[in-house]
Amino acid sequence: MAIDVRLDHVLLDRKMTLTELSDRVGITLANLSILKTGKARAIRLSTLDAICRELDCQPGELLIHVPDESRHPRSSPR
């Protein structure tokens, strides 16, 4: 997927652990872990709202669109 989740960056910046965030937003640690590791297929707006409220951040800081070519740059032909 071309969407990178930068939750670990924001948590590090806010000096908060995933467990603390889980307790504050009321989302299970397992689900937050799915989000953090990039395995999530979708995120509800209510979840995004809760995380941004607790971390005092914008959705754009959490979710970055990375075009596929930037993820897997083509090797130049020899």
Partner 1 sequence: MRHNRAFAITAWIALAAAAVTTLAALAVATTAVSVLSGRTELPHRISLIPGTDLLDLTYQPSWEVAAYIDVCPRIDLDVDPSELDCEYVQFHDLEEHMGGHVETPGDVRAVGVSFEGRMYFDAGPGWNPLIASLYGMTVLSLLIAAFLLAQLWLLLRAASQGDPFTDRVVRRLRIIGATLIAWEVAEPILWLFLSPKAWDYGLTTMSDVHGLELGSMEPGMELTPIAFGILLLLLAEVFKRGVRLEHEQRLTV
Smallest distance, partner 1 to C-beta of residue 44, A: 7
By CB under 8 A, name the binding residues for partner 1: 27, 31-32, 34-35, 39-44, 47
Smallest distance, partner 1 to C-beta of residue 32, A: 7
Q: Helices 7-14 and 45-55 sit at what angle, rounded to 10 degrees?
A: 30
Smallest distance, partner 1 to C-beta of residue 45, A: 11
The smaller minimum CB distance to partner 1, of residues 51 and 75, is found at: 51
CA–CA dist 6, 24 (Å, integer): 19
Handedness of CA 27, 32, 35, 41 (dihedral sign): negative
